């Protein structure tokens, strides 16, 4: 099992430079902890500071290294030619493999703010991904149904193939993922049992399409304290405020040993990657959790007998 991180992009700060600095510091801490991958998310027309993925990841890569990195893109919200250029450029900057995570984007206000008909997002997603693959290969694209693109090419093209992971939850979307992508990203709000059920559904879809995924990943929002009591004290206020609408069982918090046990459970199910995201918005607490992940990573490797 690999342990990566998705660095939070949203910060309620008066000085936007402070939020950007927080993200770079977390990327540097993740490198020092030996984490296996680095990602950032995608959101638009936000009421509070949200650092946009392409630009901030380019900055964070200076603190990262040669392990895999990537960003999430909500494909219907992006012009595919622009996105192909942006991702190919990031892949050229990165010292290691670049992975594109992607999804549909189901928030009506966000779609409206970006000028996209949310009811067309599934068809736009498929058309966009097909265009991206063609453009990354250095070939010409014409598409007139959604973006009115004629005779487009990009340069540079990625120095190596870009792997695509798709986030999906409902059966129809999981089937689309198995058909179109190299990897699957399970929903972060799933409990362990729900994660097992969804993984079985994804495996069945892969079998139907004769596909073998390169990655089966899930995100866990996480806090690691020196003890379980300390972790509970930090996380409890977030739970009381209804943290992201997740059930408490979908959150990963506790001591190093307890987090190792939870991660091992996902490895036993067959997940190849767990992508963590900090629960705490406090920079000191976030960095302490990332630092403790170094010990977690060593113990998961020892308990599962798998190299990380």
Please write the tens of the pLDDT for every residue from 55-99: 999 999 999 999 999 999 999 999 999 999 999 999 999 999 999
pLDDT at 302: 84
pLDDT at 305: 63
CATH number for position 210:
3.20.20.30
Residue 195 inside a domain? The answer is: yes
pLDDT at 293: 98
Percent of the chain beyond pLDDT 70? 98
Residue 16 inside a domain? The answer is: yes
pLDDT reading at 308 higher than 50: no
Number of domains in the chain: 1
pLDDT reading at 270 higher than 50: yes
pLDDT of 180-230, one tens digit each? 999 999 999 999 999 999 999 999 999 999 999 999 999 999 999 999 999
pLDDT of 125-149, one tens digit each? 999 999 999 999 999 999 999 999 9
pLDDT at 307: 47
pLDDT of 64-73, one tens digit each? 999 999 999 9
Residue 274 inside a domain? The answer is: no
Give mean pLDDT, residues 35-48.
96
What is the residue-averaged pLDDT of the chain?
A: 96
Percent of the chain beyond pLDDT 90? 96
pLDDT at 303: 75
pLDDT at 198: 97
Buried b (16+ CB within 10 A) or exposed e, 186-207: bbbbbeeebbbebbebbbebbe
Residue 162 inside a domain? The answer is: yes
pLDDT at 158: 98
Residue 155 inside a domain? The answer is: yes
pLDDT at 306: 53
CA neighbor of 35 nearest in space, from 258, 297, 214: 297
Residue 273 inside a domain? The answer is: no
Residue 175 inside a domain? The answer is: yes
Q: Report the predicted TM-score, pTM, of the whole model to 2 decimal places.
A: 0.96
pLDDT at 301: 85
pLDDT at 304: 66
Whole-number Å distance between alpha carbons of 235 and 224: 10
Residue 185 inside a domain? The answer is: yes
Domain extent, residue 190, equals 2-221
At residue 106 the predicted structure's pLDDT band, cuts being 50, 70 and 90, is confident
């Amino acid at each position: 099992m690999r342990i990566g991180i998705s660095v939070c992009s949203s910060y309620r700060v008066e000085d936007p430079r402070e939020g950007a600095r927080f993200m770079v510091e977390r990327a540097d801490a993740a490198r020092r902890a030996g984490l296996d991958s680095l990602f950032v998310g995608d959101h638009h027309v936000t009421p509070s500071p949200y650092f946009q993925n392409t630009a901030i990841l380019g900055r964070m890569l200076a603190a990262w290294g040669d392990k895999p990195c990537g960003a999430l893109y909500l494909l219907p919200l992006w012009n595919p030619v622009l996105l192909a250029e942006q991702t190919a450029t990031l892949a050229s900057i990165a010292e290691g493999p670049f992975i594109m995570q992607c999804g549909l984007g189901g928030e009506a206000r966000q779609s409206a703010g970006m000028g996209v008909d949310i009811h067309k997002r599934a068809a736009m997603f498929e058309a966009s991904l097909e265009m991206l693959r063609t453009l990354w290969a250095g070939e010409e694209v014409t598409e007139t149904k959604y973006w009115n693109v004629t005779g487009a090419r990009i340069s540079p093209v990625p120095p190596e193939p870009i792997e695509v992971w798709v986030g999906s939850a409902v059966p129809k979307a999981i089937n689309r993922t198995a058909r179109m992508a190299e990897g699957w990203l399970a929903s972060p709000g799933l409990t362990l049992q729900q994660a097992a059920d969804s993984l079985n559904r994804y495996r069945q879809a892969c079998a139907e399409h004769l596909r073998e995924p390169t990655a089966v990943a899930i995100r866990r929002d996480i806090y690691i304290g020196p003890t379980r009591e300390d972790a509970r004290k930090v996380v409890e206020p977030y739970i009381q405020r209804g943290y992201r609408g997740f059930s408490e069982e979908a959150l990963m918090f506790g001591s190093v040993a307890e987090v190792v046990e939870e991660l091992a459970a996902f490895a036993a199910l067959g997940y190849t990657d767990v992508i963590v995201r900090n629960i705490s918005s406090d920079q000191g607490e976030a960095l302490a959790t990332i630092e403790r992940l170094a010990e977690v990573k060593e113990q998961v490797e020892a308990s599962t007998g798998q190299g990380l």
